[in-house]
Amino acid sequence: MKKFGTKLGAAALVALATVATTATVKPALAQDKEIAVMLPAAGDPYFKLKSFGYIDEGKKHGYKVVVYDAGGYGNLQKQVSQIEDVIQRKVSGIVLVPASSDGTVPVVEKAVAAGIPVVNDGIATKTDKVTGFVGEPSYAMTELLAAYAVDKLGGKGEVAMLSGPSGLDLTRFRVNGFKDYVAKYPGMKVVAEKYTSTASTDALTTMQDFLQSNPGITAVYAFNGPIAIGVVQALRTAGKKPGEVMVLTTDMEPETNRMIKDGWITATVVSQPVTMARLAVRRAIEAAEGKVIPKETLTQPSLISKATLDAVDLSGQAVPDDWK
C-alpha cells in the first residue's frame, strides 16, 4: 500500500489528489447507520476543529457519527479497546487517526475482516488492509516551511526541532521533509531536536532546555499548534521579542492565528483539516455502502504568514462560532 506523505514536490501537489488504486470491503450489517471516529487526543484544538467536520458530514448523509477519544497519543491500548468495542457493535464504518502506526495493525485488520471499512485520517496504519487514507502531503508541507526559513534567514541559522509524538508515520514524514531540505544548506544547522508529546507544558520545558544549551537558536520547528504555543511561552520567559526567533508550525487553530497576528509565530502550513475530516467520513460511508473508494486522497497545503493571513482560503478549516 502506498503510504501518505511521500516525497511530493511542490509542483506535483494537486488539491484533493486521488490515487487511482482502489479497494472495496463487504458492507457490515449495522442496525443503525453509524460511523465511529477514533481519535488519539480529541482535546487538541486541531481535533476539535475536525470533530465538526466529522459530525456535520455524517448528518448530511444520514449517518450518526460518534467520536471516541483515547486521551493521548501514548494511550494505544485504550484506542485498541475502543476499536474492539465498535467492531462488536458492528458499526457501519470506522475513521481512525491511529495512536500508533504499527500498534493498530491487528485491530484494523480485524475490523476489515469483519466487514467494517476502516479509513485512516491523517496518520496511516501500516497495513495494506486499510480501506482508504485521507490526509496531507506531510513531507512536502514541511519542505515548504523549511524553504521559507532558509529564504528568510539567508541560508544561515541555528534550528531547534520539537518534532511531536514518536512512532507515527506523520511525524516521520514531517521531520524528514524539514530536515532534508535544511540539510541542503551548510549554513543551516539543527542544533537541538526532541520528540515530544503535544502538550504545551511539555513543549515549554523542552524549549527552555534548548535555549539554555543553545542560546543562539534563530528558528524553531514545532510539530503542531499546541507545541508552538509552548515554544512561544518559553521565548517570552527568556525575554525574547516577537519575531526575534522564527517559530514555524503546522495547522492553525484560533490561538495559532492570534500568535501569527501578534508576530510570535512566523509561519504555518495548513492542510484544511475540516475538509479532511469531511472526506474521511464520506469515504467511510461510501465504503460502508459497498462503493469502491480511492486508496488515497490528499488535501492541498497552504503556507501562511502574517503577510498572507487574510489572502489564503481557509474555508477548509472553518467551523461555526458556537461550535464547542
DSSP 95: E
Which residue ranges make up each domain of the chain?
A: 10-136+272-300, 138-270
Q: Which fold has domain 10-136+272-300?
A: Rossmann fold (3.40.50)
Give the C-alpha separation, 315 to 321, whole Å: 13
Q: How far is CA 286 from CA 15, 58, 107, 136, 186, in A?
A: 20, 11, 21, 20, 49
Please name the CATH architecture into which domain 138-270 falls: 3-Layer(aba) Sandwich (3.40)
* Cα 153 off chain centre by: 26
Give the C-alpha separation, 3 to 5, whole Å: 7
Per-residue pLDDT at 165: 93
Per-residue pLDDT at 321: 78
Cβ neighbors of 95 (< 8 A, separation 6 or more) are 35, 36, 37, 38, 54, 118, 119, 121, 277, 280, 281, 284
Q: Which of the residues in the chain have pLDDT under 70?
A: 1-31, 324
Rg (the chain; Cα; Å): 20
Per-residue pLDDT at 31: 47
User: Which cell numbers hold the place of 282?
Assistant: 464520506
Topology alike, domains 10-136+272-300 and 138-270? yes
Q: What is the pLDDT of residues 140-165, one digit of tens each?
A: 999 999 999 999 999 999 999 999 99
Per-residue pLDDT at 312: 83
Cα angle, residue 175 at apex, residues 171 and 178 outer, rounded to 5°: 145
